[in-house]
Amino acid sequence: MNTVAKIEPEQLPASNDGSAALMRLIERAATSADLDVAKLEHLLAVKAQWEATEARKAFMVAKAAFKSEAPSLVKNKRVAFASRGGGAGTEYDYATLDSVADAVNPVLSRHDLSYSWETEQLEGGVVRVTCILTHIMGHSERVSLQAGADQSGSKNNIQAIGSTVSFLERYTLLAALGMATKGQDTDAGYQAAGPITAEQKDALIALMKEIGADTKKFLNFLGIEALDNLHASRFDFARQCLEKKRGAKP
């Protein structure tokens, strides 16, 4: 039986020449009188690897071309709201998701790139959003971020979740594209609000002691290493979780 030396993707000619050469090898192997199934499977695997490599190269070229033409992202909206606790309010400018999309979509389309999102509701009300940037040849890259419901301002529960989803969609898209607005905005109250106050920290500690909560597990649940790292916008969420557990105790 004739044998064929093992072929690796990098040994093939680049671009369409490589595809045509590989297809000729596969056709000869498939139509050979002494069909070697193992050899055919190897050739098909090489073809799949070669196509994946070419798709990744095309993706990187397209993304570089996009970056060379990337538009400036202008902050087009101002938000201001008072603090629930009666303290200083929050005010900031940011680029809305629709304005970001309107700016980048035409350039992405010219370079055969598109994006989509996956949204997951995790335990404890945490939301995870993944932005998937995809090239027409099939290669894609993913960026994920997660956070609790945004309790800043006077939002109800649905609005709080929607605010978080919008916030994460915009930031995962910017991360996937390697872009940023000038003076990166801090909307949804996450960074603009700053960390919790000493009084808020003491209130959470008192609640944890009252219900016998495992501090390490609770911090892991919140995605922080210490209560000092908890943003004020998430204080109500953390407090409500503890109060819910307290109310569930017999």
Encode pLDDT of 89-112 as tens digits. Answer: 456 677 889 999 999 999 999 999
* Residue 79: domain span: 75-193
- Cα separation, 98 vs 220, in Å, equals 33
Residue 4 placed within a domain: no
Residue 161 placed within a domain: yes
Residue 229 placed within a domain: yes
Claim to verify: residue 62 and residue 96 sit in the same structural domain: no
Claim to verify: residue 79 and residue 183 sit in the same structural domain: yes
Residue 2 placed within a domain: no
Claim to verify: residue 17 and residue 38 sit in the same structural domain: yes
Claim to verify: residue 120 and residue 167 sit in the same structural domain: yes
Claim to verify: residue 107 and residue 208 sit in the same structural domain: no
Question: Which range has highest mean pLDDT (147-156, 173-182, 232-241)?
Answer: 173-182
For the stretch 43-93, pLDDT in tens is 778 778 888 888 999 999 999 999 999 888 877 776 655 555 544 445 667
Residue 116 placed within a domain: yes
Written as six digits, the tokens of 140 are 């894609």
The count of domains in the chain is: 3
Residue 20 placed within a domain: yes
Claim to verify: residue 140 and residue 91 sit in the same structural domain: yes
Written as six digits, the tokens of 107 are 């350039």
105 Cα distance to chain centroid: 18
Asked whether residue 2 carries a pLDDT value surpassing 60, the answer given is no
3-state DSSP assignment of residue 233: helix
Please report the pLDDT score of residue 180 as a whole number. 78
Asked whether residue 161 carries a pLDDT value surpassing 70, the answer given is yes
- Cα separation, 237 vs 155, in Å, equals 12
Contact present, 151 and 233 (Cβ < 8 Å):
yes
Claim to verify: residue 97 and residue 180 sit in the same structural domain: yes
- DSSP secondary structure of 170-189: HHHHHHHHT---TT---GGG
Claim to verify: residue 60 and residue 84 sit in the same structural domain: no
Please report the pLDDT score of residue 227 as a whole number. 86
Residue 3 placed within a domain: no
Claim to verify: residue 94 and residue 169 sit in the same structural domain: yes
